[in-house]
Amino acid sequence: MISLAEVLRRHWPAYEQKFGVRLLPSHRRAVKAILSCRTPALGGQLFRCECGKEHYAYHSCNHRACPQCGHADATEWLNRQRRRLLPVPYYLVTFTVPAQLRKTVRSQQKILYALLLQESAAALSDLAHKDFGAQIGLLAVLQTWTRDLRYHPHVHCVVPAGGLSADALRWVRPKNCDYFLPQAALALRFRTRLKQALQQNHPEVFRLIATVAWSLDWVADVQPVGSGEPALKYLAAYVYRTAFSTERILSDDGHHVTFSYRDRKTRDPGTVRLVPEAFLHRFLQHVLPKGFQRVRSFGWLSAAAKAKWERILALLDWKRPALVATAPRPPPHCPTCKKPMQLVGQLPRAPPFWHRPRLQAVLPK
């Protein structure tokens, strides 16, 4: 198996030399993190077994573009969100922008990513208030990729089917228990709100978008997801992790990088074969701007609406499940005798040109 870090070590120098100052700082930071992840550059720990074997465990970079990182954070996030699931039906609503906007979205990420999240949530709130008179809460997640790593920005929203009445005295459900909100109306409202937000607050960005984009039919897909947990499990894979996993890389012969994917509709396996430059471009275009928050809560699910959240718990007569404590990570097992190994030392971060790691003994308490 070839790791993403190996592909970067082979091809990043040529890519960096070609594009130079045009490379985004976020892309440089991502590559630097991936290349140093679980290497002596980040330091680590030394474990020793009673049989005499030693094991070095180097620290992770914890960058969200790194395929080796994020699993523990995603699991913790999923457990937190599970505790906030109400005893009501849930829907997964996905908002997609047309292809005519994608180039502008990619070049104006800080502005448009935030607006995609904000206006998709506002479109849902507007129609829920109009359709069944409720103040709703929702969780929104930005995703930018398809399974073959093409650029396809869209927003997933996990929404409970119901909300607070205007006077906050009742829990209000949709008029039809088998129906949430009309897809066509949601798409139209999302398009209208995004257009108005750009015209009013970012006219320079609005002028970059082809006029035809605003006359097209946009897409909002509404799907029931039962208790909401299936949608959370699906999204957890993307909240703290990258668009790409290392095991998908099939080969790198120096001229082409080949990776696997699975078709979203047919579920059939497929492969993509790209020259290294095209592969790096396809991967790096999904690196988010520094500090950008991909996951956001709106309405009474936001941190600022604690009083409304407590009111909803009372109206539904529902208590949050107890928080399950995360078990401490066990020490590694010896590859020879399979017994647990003991931590005996700490390895500091290496300087830019390191030679031998300095071992810091773990002092007894």
Cα dihedral: 35, 38, 44, 49 (round 10): -150
Q: Smallest Cα–Cα separation from 285: which of 150, 113, 146, 101? A: 150
Model confidence pLDDT, tens digit, residues 263-292: 888 889 999 999 999 999 999 999 999 999
Q: Smallest Cα–Cα separation from 113: which of 89, 87, 86, 95? A: 95
Average pLDDT of the residues in 300-325: 90
Structure confidence at residue 31 (pLDDT) = 96
Mean pLDDT is lowest, of 192-196, 261-265, 303-307, 327-331, for 327-331
The sign of the torsion formed by the CA atoms of 195, 198, 199, 203 equals negative
For 21, counting Cβ atoms within 10 Å of its Cβ (0-12 exposed, 13-18 middle, 19+ buried), the class is exposed
Q: Smallest Cα–Cα separation from 123: which of 108, 136, 112? A: 136
Alpha-carbon radius of gyration of the chain: 24
Beta bridge partners of 343: 47
Q: Quick check: 327 pLDDT over 80? A: no
Bigger pLDDT: 354 vs 230? 230
Q: What is the DSSP letter of 361?
A: E
Task: Return the residue matching tokens 């399974």.
Answer: 147
Q: Which amino acid is at 308?
A: K
C-alpha to C-alpha distance for 176 and 146, rounded to whole angstroms: 33
Structure confidence at residue 27 (pLDDT) = 96
Average pLDDT of the residues in 120-128: 98
If you write DSSP's letter for every residue of 218-234 in order, what string do you get? PEEEEEE-TTSHHHHHH
Q: pTM for this structure?
A: 0.89
If you write DSSP's letter for every residue of 57-99 in order, what string do you get? EEPP---TT-TTS-HHHHHHHHHHHHTT--SS-EEEEEEE--H
Q: How many CA atoms lie within 13 A of 88 on its CB side?
A: 24
Structure confidence at residue 12 (pLDDT) = 97
End-to-end distance of the chain based on CA atoms, in angstroms? 42
For 153, counting Cβ atoms within 10 Å of its Cβ (0-12 exposed, 13-18 middle, 19+ buried), the class is buried
For 124, counting Cβ atoms within 10 Å of its Cβ (0-12 exposed, 13-18 middle, 19+ buried), the class is buried
Mean pLDDT, all residues of the chain:
91
Cα dihedral: 170, 171, 177, 181 (round 10): 100
Helix (H) or strand (E) holding 250: strand 249-252
Pairing of strands 163-164, 171-172: antiparallel
Model confidence pLDDT, tens digit, residues 49-87: 999 888 888 999 999 999 988 888 888 899 999 999 999
Q: Quick check: 154 pLDDT over 60? A: yes
The sign of the torsion formed by the CA atoms of 45, 76, 262, 121 equals negative
Structure confidence at residue 365 (pLDDT) = 41
